[in-house]
Chains A and B, each alone.
Chain A
Amino acid sequence: KAGVTQTPRYLIKTRGQQVTLSCSPISGHRSVSWYQQTPGQGLQFLFEYFSETQRNKGNFPGRFSGRQFSNSRSEMNVSTLELGDSALYLCASSGRTGGYSPLHFGNGTRLTVT
C-alpha cells in the first residue's frame, strides 16, 4: 500500500510570492491534516480536512489555506510569503472516522523563503 505522497520535496520562493503544496493520502484514508515544523517549535497544526470539509483549524493567519478534493487529495496554499514561513510542511492522513487511528505522515515539503 503506497504511503502519503507530498510534492514537491523542496521549494525556494521569494518573499511576497505564493505557493501551493500537494498531498496524496494513503488509499482509503479520508482525513488529511497539515502541519508546519520549525526548529524548536515541534509540529504546529494547520488544518484538517475530511470528505472535502475543513474539520479543524489551527492558529495560523488567513494566508494559509487548504482544500481537499473528492479523491481525498489535498492542497495547501500560502499567499504573500514571509521569511518566517520557511519550514518543513508535513501532510498526514488517517483512517480515523471517530475512533483511534494514528496519523501517517509523508516526507514533507521543505519550503525556503528568501
Chain B
Amino acid sequence: DQQVKQNSPSLSVQEGRISILNCDYTNSMFDYFLWYKKYPAEGPTFLISISSIKDKNEDGRFTVFLNKSAKHLSLHIVPSQPGDSAVYFCAALITGNQFYFGTGTSLTVIP
C-alpha cells in the first residue's frame, strides 16, 4: 500500500528555470513532510521539511508547499542548476511511527 506517491518518474528542466516536483499522499494523519535528494552511489540527503501546521517553508532556492485538503506536497527549485540533477524523494511521517517514502523523481537540469 503506497501511502506516498510520486507519479512522475522523471523531469527535465532548462537551467535557470523553475523545477516543480510533486508528491501525493493518502493518509491524513501524516504530520511531518520532507524532501530528500539522492545522487548515484550515495545515500539520500535531507533537503527541506514542513510540518502539517504550515503550508509553505522556504530555504534558499528551495520551497516546499503543502496543500492538506488535496493531500499534495510540492518542491519548487528556483533557479534550477545543473548540480540539482538527482533523484528526489518525498517522505511523510506520523509522529512516533515510521517514515513513508515515495518512489522518487529523477530531475535532469539541462545546461
The answer to whether B43 touches A108, judged by C-beta atoms less than 8 angstroms apart, is yes
| A40 in the interface (beta carbon within 8 A) | yes
Bound: A85/B99 CA distance, A: 21
What is the distance, in angstroms, from B73's C-beta to the closest C-beta of chain A?
15
- Which of A42, A103, A106 gathers most chain B CB within 10 Å? A42
| B95 in the interface (beta carbon within 8 A) | yes
Q: Report the number of A-B residue pairs with Cβ-Cβ less than 8 Å.
A: 54
What is the distance, in angstroms, from A55's C-beta to the closest C-beta of chain B?
8
With A42-B104, A43-B101, A58-B98 as given contacts, are A100 and B42 in contact (CB-CB < 8 Å)? no
**Across-interface contacts of B101 in A (CB, < 8 A):** 35, 42-43, 45
The answer to whether A56 touches B98, judged by C-beta atoms less than 8 angstroms apart, is yes
A-contact bits for B97-111, CB 8 A (1 contact / 0 none): 111111110000000
* Interface residues contributed by chain B, number (CB under 8 Å): 25
- Contact for B46 among A40, A43, A102, CB less than 8 A: A102
The answer to whether B43 touches A90, judged by C-beta atoms less than 8 angstroms apart, is yes
**Across-interface contacts of B98 in A (CB, < 8 A):** 33, 45, 48, 56, 58
The answer to whether A103 touches B49, judged by C-beta atoms less than 8 angstroms apart, is no
The answer to whether B43 touches A45, judged by C-beta atoms less than 8 angstroms apart, is no
25 interchain pairs, CB-CB under 8 A: A4-B43, A40-B103, A41-B103, A42-B89, A43-B44, A43-B89, A43-B91, A43-B101, A45-B98, A45-B101, A48-B98, A56-B98, A92-B43, A98-B96, A99-B95, A100-B93, A102-B34, A103-B34, A103-B91, A105-B36, A105-B43, A106-B43, A107-B43, A108-B42, A108-B43
- Chain A residues packing against B (C-beta within 8 Å): 4, 6, 33, 35, 40-43, 45, 48, 56, 58, 90, 92, 98-100, 102-108
- Chain B residues packing against A (C-beta within 8 Å): 6, 32, 34, 36, 41-46, 49, 51, 89, 91, 93, 95-104
